[in-house]
Amino acid sequence: MYLGVLAGLTKTITLGVASLVLPQRHAAQVAKAAASIDVLSGGRLVLGVASGDRPEEYPAINRGFDDRGERFRESVEYIKRMMQGYGQINNSFGHVNGTLDLLPKPHKERFPMMITGGSQQSPNWGAEHLDGLITYPRSPKIQAHVVDSYRSRVNTFTKRSKPVMQPLYIDIDANDNSPVSPIHLGVRCGVNSLLDYLLVLRDSGVNHVALNLRFNRSPVEETLQKLSEMVLPHFHFDDFSHQTILNKEGMNG
């Protein structure tokens, strides 16, 4: 519902989900909901998908934790098949023999899906079957190695580049030049130091960074103003529509 509201209130921004835990949901419902948002937004959905890593959640919905990797693969397969007209599939999520269609269809050929972490899959499987990688924040040097390894695997399956994204918790100091210090899954620093940090991440091959203000101690509006004036203008945002993410690298920011 939240994405539906955003689809109606915005015109150009990408609408991302990070991330749907596929083994906890029926693949048909995921496919239908995601396609609906994609249509409403004019093809701006990027769907992050994951296998889930919290064992306590699975008994609450009567799902097995140990087989979540297999269910993740089957869900991805089901969703992809249902994006096609009268697709055929037979796995643990159900049997469709080509006489039943699922509507609506995505705005274009399909919406992109990004694998989150490993999702209980081999690195090669993720590089081959999904449209990009959502990975955990790391130091730029280590992240560069992760990106290079991922893209090397992608290149064995396709000539098309696939984007890499990461989250980053930030706590922006009142001193704009305060140096970077680590916090949980992120950094505490001044806005100028954040800019330098993001530029290094970009040079390491990261295409998109999702900034999270959960641990930010400064007033939110003040922080957003600084980010909009002192950080965002330094990055070039390409079109992040389906054609971009399916055929070439995504944003450089």
pLDDT per residue over 141-182, tens digit each? Answer: 999 999 999 999 999 999 899 999 999 999 999 999 999 999
Distance CA 91, CA 214 (A): 39
Distance CA 123, CA 158 (A): 15
Sketch out the chain's domains with CATH numbers.
13-134 (3.20.20.30), 161-253 (no CATH)
Q: What does the block give as tokens for 223? A: 């922080």
Which of left, alpha, beta for 117 (phi over 0: left; psi -120 to 50: alpha)? left
pLDDT per residue over 12-47, tens digit each? Answer: 999 999 999 999 999 999 999 999 999 999 999 999
239 has pLDDT over 70: no
Specify the range with the lowest mean pLDDT, choosing from 56-60, 76-80, 114-118. Answer: 56-60
Per the prediction, the chain carries an average pLDDT of: 92
Please give the pLDDT value at position 253: 38
Helical (H) or strand (E) element with 184: none
Distance CA 175, CA 228 (A): 17
Distance CA 180, CA 187 (A): 6
Q: Whole-model pTM?
A: 0.90
Task: Give me the count of residues in the chain.
Answer: 253
pLDDT band for position 87 (cuts 50, 70, 90): confident
